[in-house]
Chains A and B, each alone.
Chain A
Amino acid sequence: MAESIPTVTAIADVEFGGELPAFTPDTSIDATRRFGQHVGWNTPRFTDHDGARKEGLPGAIVPGVMSQGFLGAMIHRWAPTAEIITIDTVFRAPVLVDQPHKITGVVTDIDEDELTVEIDLTVTNEAGETRVFGTATARLPS
């Protein structure tokens, strides 16, 4: 049976400090290889641990734009009708392939005139270290 995710459909459903359902991104090497094939990035740093290590990385890393895609997916899972206006990220450390990560999001601003919400987004690894953080602005129906 599919997991039931609480969703919002209008800006009136949103509260300051409200948490988005946590999101577990697929950071497997299969996922980054598929992504690489689709976007034409078959560089070892994203698709091969040994090749990435030869480039001085601790292992293969998830492309930044793929992480941003996870953030967008998370927002749309929470608010399927939302129009994402911006996703603005700061990459503090690599998101390592084949290592579990969690994405959390919380609403940190609501503009009822513009029908927009601002969401803090944080990608953490199993140790709880922040790897990526940022904010997104999304417009919701009235």
Chain B
Amino acid sequence: MILDLHTHSIKSDDGRAKVRNYCQWVRTRNVPIDGFVLTEHRQFDFESDYSGLARDFDLVILKGAEVETEYGHVLVYGVTEPLYETFDFGSIGLPLEEVIEHCNAHDAVAAPCHPGRPRVGMSAHLAEHGVPKGVRIVEIYNGGSRGEEDAVAAAMADELGYIGIGGSDSHIVSHIGRCATEFPEPVTTEAELVAALKSERFRAITTR
């Protein structure tokens, strides 16, 4: 089961992709993924129902979020209304350790993304803030990475004992599936995704 764990739609301020077009693209171009997670910036999209599209295109479409902390951007999986009320998803300066604590308390998972990226990635902030408590998973393959960013992320993950996921970070249709995460078992709901991530049985993949 291969899921792109990091995508954005037009719900994000810099996203330009309609979810239907993502589905069409995956099927028309035989992109080797079974589904994707919409991780919109600084919000969780409670409104949209993609179950019809998922059925029509035989794809898994899940929802998460990408929030912003003092260590850079962080993906959150397993968002529920109670979790959403515990901190301000729209803030650009959330304390990462508190985000992780809240996620743990609400059976969700937080994973720093593109950690090798200057300014908005975790590794750039380790010297200033130290190693944060509670991180288990980081994104080691990001479809938007430039230069050595993925290598920096992988080296940081190795050094600190983190497990890697992959996601395209697509903002336009044709970038979906460039990086993804493979799971040994089916994942069809947000709860199953959280369980699969907590099992720590997955591997990051890249097609770039």
Measured CB to CB, the residues of A under 8 A from B are 16-17, 88, 90, 92-93, 106, 108-109, 118, 120-122, 127-130, 133-135
- Whether B147 lies near A127 (C-beta < 8 A) is yes
How far is A88 from B17 in the complex, measured between Cα atoms in Å?
A: 12
Tell me the count of chain B residues lying within 8 A, CB to CB, of chain A.
Answer: 18
Query: For residue B14, which residues in chain A have a CB less than 8 angstroms away from its CB?
Result: 90
A32 to chain B, nearest CB (A): 22
How far is A90 from B29 in the complex, measured between Cα atoms in Å?
A: 24
Q: A90-B171, A106-B173, A127-B146 are in contact. List 6 more A-B contacts (CB 8 A).
A: A108-B21, A109-B21, A120-B16, A120-B172, A129-B146, A135-B16
For this complex, 20 residue pairs linking A to B, each with C-beta atoms less than 8 Å apart, are A16-B28, A17-B28, A17-B29, A88-B16, A106-B173, A108-B17, A108-B21, A108-B25, A108-B172, A108-B173, A108-B174, A109-B173, A120-B16, A120-B172, A127-B146, A133-B16, A133-B171, A133-B172, A134-B16, A134-B172
Query: For residue B208, which residues in chain A have a CB less than 8 angstroms away from its CB?
Result: 128
Residue among B21, B29, B175 with max Cβ neighbours from chain A (10 Å)? B21
Question: If the complex has contacts A108-B172, A120-B174, A130-B144, are A16 and B24 also in contact, measured as CB distance less than 8 A?
Answer: yes
B152 to chain A, nearest CB (A): 14
A59 to chain B, nearest CB (A): 15
Measured CB to CB, the residues of B under 8 A from A are 14, 16-18, 21, 24-25, 28-29, 144, 146-147, 171-175, 208
Residue among B16, B21, B144, B175 with max Cβ neighbours from chain A (10 Å)? B16
- Whether B18 lies near A109 (C-beta < 8 A) is yes
B44 to chain A, nearest CB (A): 22
Query: For residue B21, which residues in chain A have a CB less than 8 angstroms away from its CB?
Result: 108-109, 118
Query: For residue B29, which residues in chain A have a CB less than 8 angstroms away from its CB?
Result: 17
- Whether A17 lies near B25 (C-beta < 8 A) is yes
A104 to chain B, nearest CB (A): 8
Query: For residue B25, which residues in chain A have a CB less than 8 angstroms away from its CB?
Result: 17, 108
- Nearest B residue to A89 by beta-carbon distance? B16
How far is A63 from B208 in the complex, measured between Cα atoms in Å?
A: 28
A108 to chain B, nearest CB (A): 4
A113 to chain B, nearest CB (A): 15
B67 to chain A, nearest CB (A): 20
How far is A118 from B172 in the complex, measured between Cα atoms in Å?
A: 11
- Whether A122 lies near B18 (C-beta < 8 A) is no
